[in-house]
Chains A and B, each alone.
Chain A
Amino acid sequence: MIRECKKVLKPFVLGLLWLLALLWPLLGIHPDGTLSFANAFQVWLYIAAVAFVCVFLYVLNKSGNLDFAARPAAVLRDRVSEAAGRIPSKAWIGLLLGFALIYPQITGRYEQDVAINVLIYVCLGLGLNIVIGLAGMLDLGYIAFYGVGAYSYALLNTNFGISFWFSLPFAAVLAAIAGCIIGYPTLRMRGDYLAIVTLGFGEIVRLILNNWMTLTNGPNGILGIDPPSFYFLSFDGGLSFEHLYLKKLHYLYYIALFLAVFTIIAVRRLNFSRIGRAWESIREDETAAELMGVNTFLLKLLAYAMGAVFAGLAGAFFSARMRFVSPESFTFLESALVLAMVVLGGMASIPGIILGVMALIVLPEVFREFELYRMLAVGGAMTVMMVFKPRGLIPAKRVGTRSEEKEG
């Protein structure tokens, strides 16, 4: 244990001193010409205490002192998963699905609202996963496709009265076209330039949505969008179609659930198909893939388009649910959040992404009192995860290994 202590002591102390030196000027120099140390010291002590506890636990764990608790816990976990393993995974999925189906019956409006958000972001995360996780292209303007989908349904509905279900394919196609338009010029660029160019495109789309008054009504957004509806036969007074609007929140929940399940199944099938393998080969080594006969250009474009399709579907649902869209919902920060969900949960891993989405949506709601620190925590978590667990909380299972990449 002493050895581990010594190893972490120097960086730990240096880090804390650095933090103090940075924190004090921000908190301790006052505009009335006085210098104070109390406030800065207090904040610093808080942070130092928390950091100390974390590092202490880490050292204990590393040196084996916690084995008296850790080993039985590990044994218990193995035993439980072994027992659980005897039940086929299909049953687990069935159980989860059943839980998801009865969820609205046992919870109130607010929880359903949170759950709907989770499901929408699951669609977004899985779509972004196709671009980043499978094809390996960093897209920072992903939210633009979400916006395109949302506005397509909004415009089609308010101008032409087309209902939600008929607009879904339009939203998907328009988003895919947007994906191709944005993807085309960027495909010649290197990885980092791709990031900044997609970011630029995302901002351009948002600025156009905000400023093109005649088409999108600018910052006022589009009001009065119809919710999803069903026609069904009604027999009183002759055969006619009755238009039933699904305004109640749990109907919206089921539609969101349907979209999310559809996305999960679609992404899973894509992942294990020829196209998915081609994408993975492009991600691993583009030149080699090109040499092996993979049409990288077309496949990269396809990756963009497919990712955009799922975002478009999610966007159409978003505008049907809020019944109001405005450009403020499609900022770069949203893109960064979706990226954080994908990265934190585990790239290219579907349960990982679902976990990432839940962590980033449910946890802030639970810790509402610490609302102010929410983005701080997200930013810090992104960096910490990349440094310590770059493959995410639930990493994807890889077919084969790479020699360069170290574990963890």
Chain B
Amino acid sequence: MRKRLLTMLVLGLILVPFAVSPAAAKTLKIGSMSPLTGPYAADGNDIKNGTLTAIEIFEEEGGIPGFDKIELYPQDTACDPKQAVAAANKLLNLEVVGVIGAYCSSSTIPASETLAEEDIPMITPASTNEQVTERGLPYMFRMCGRDDDQSKVAVQFIQESLNADSIFIVDDKTTYSQGLADGVEKECEKAGIKVLGRDHVNQGDKDFSALLTKAKSTGADVFYMSMQNHATGSLMTIQAKRLGLDAQILTQDANMHPNFIKVAKDAAEGVMVTFGYVDESTPEYKKYAKKFSAKYGEIGAYGTYAYDAATVLLKAIKESGSTDPEDIKAEIMKMDFQGASKMVKFRPNGDSGSNYIVFVIKNGEYVKYWDPAKGKL
């Protein structure tokens, strides 16, 4: 018994020298939260690398007066709310002045509550659920689009371009996908499009034959697929084509991933995807793309958003001359410039607006197809 207690005491003492040593003075500390491991690791690493690119470009252009260097502390959330909260606590421990993250809406929401306890500004480059900015947290901002905008664009597309009048909606019961599917359902009802069926699958399911047979039997014009993971989306697409589903498959931004086409192959031809529009001809984008692809390779969409988010944060600190959250917020609200992904201008609740367009998969590639303002491209 005593031997055991001795062992336990020693082990307990091992816990103590955990405290991170204080960093050298005059370093500006920023944190990033994204899934660095697990199925979303590609996008998560894009977010980390986008932030690093922003820091690099900022330091090259003069850095921030009063600070010798800017340092990033990337944290792994693995799209798990528990880990996200732990990561937020770790960043608070490290005394960062701002956080870029997270990726999954289900991680961003609880982590932001933790960060709000210490009034640390948080800018998310990828969480699209409306709740992220609707809760009234004073220092929560969003760089990417919102799901209610995405669903509006999808339904507008269905009405104007596809001229369809019936739809079958499926989601996989995650915060993000279900929220989006609900939005589409509501907008369809408002627009007079008949929702012939609304069903769900669970994450990790593989067999959708029952569901797709049901969809086929309703004879809907459009099949809206709202998935968290493009792996599920690609499986569903394969089975849909095999079963002979004639409906036009429309899906959302999670299925905008090269692996989707790799897995679904020819079944993916003709599938349409809503995604945020990034104008690749702007000088901002070119500057970012050059730096990013030199160091990190292929550019992923979320890297661009993270780059803009980090630039916004650093700019706000520089312009206001302080790291106080109120000053940062005041500066962010004044911003109005062309970023790498879009025009950066924030609304009072922290959103920066969405610019969703529709892509189509043609010859194994994503091609821009339709814009809500201009129509077919």
Contact = CB atoms under 8 A, between A and B. Distances in A.
B11 interface: yes
A107 B16 contact: yes
A219 B175 contact: yes
B118 to A, nearest CB: 9
B18 A328 contact: no
A329 B82 contact: yes
A96 interface: yes
Interface in A338-368: 351-352, 354-355, 358, 362
B173 A218 contact: yes
A220 interface: yes
A218 B178 contact: yes
A394 B37 CA distance: 33
B89 A110 contact: yes
A109 interface: yes
Interface string A84-98: 110001001101100
Interface residues of A, number: 46
Interface stretch (A22-30, A39-47, A49-57, A318-326): A318-326
A375 B192 CA distance: 50
A106 B16 contact: yes
Interface of A: 77, 80-81, 84-85, 89, 92-93, 95-96, 99, 106-111, 113-115, 117, 207, 210-211, 218-221, 223, 247, 249, 322-324, 326, 328-329, 351-352, 354-355, 358, 362, 371-372, 394
Contacts of A113: 85-86, 89-90
B122 to A, nearest CB: 15
B377 interface: no
Interface string B1-33: 111111111011011101110000000000000
Interface stretch (B106-114, B233-241, B246-254, B315-323): B106-114
B55 to A, nearest CB: 22
A211 B200 contact: yes
Determine which residue in A110, A249, A372 has the highest number of CB atoms from chain B within 10 A of its CB, and name it. A110
B179 interface: yes
A351 B82 contact: no
Contacts of B82: 322, 329
A19 to B, nearest CB: 24
Nearest to B80: A328
B9 A81 contact: no
A89 B15 CA distance: 22
Given A223-B131, A322-B81, A84 B18 contact: no
Given A110-B93, A219-B175, A219-B178, A92 B5 contact: yes
B92 interface: yes
A84 B81 contact: no
Contacts of A354: 8
A203 to B, nearest CB: 10
Interface in B67-104: 76, 80-82, 85-86, 89-90, 92-93
Contacts of B5: 84, 89, 92-93, 96, 351
Given A111-B18, A220-B179, A80 B6 contact: yes
Contacts of B110: 322-324
Nearest to A372: B37
Contacts of B178: 218-220
Contacts of B109: 221, 223, 324
A398 to B, nearest CB: 14
Given A219-B106, A219-B175, A371-B37, A111 B81 contact: no
Contacts of A352: 4
A106 B20 CA distance: 13
B174 interface: yes
B131 A220 contact: yes
B60 interface: no
A106 B17 CA distance: 10
Interface in B128-145: 129, 131, 135
Contacts of A109: 89-90, 92-93
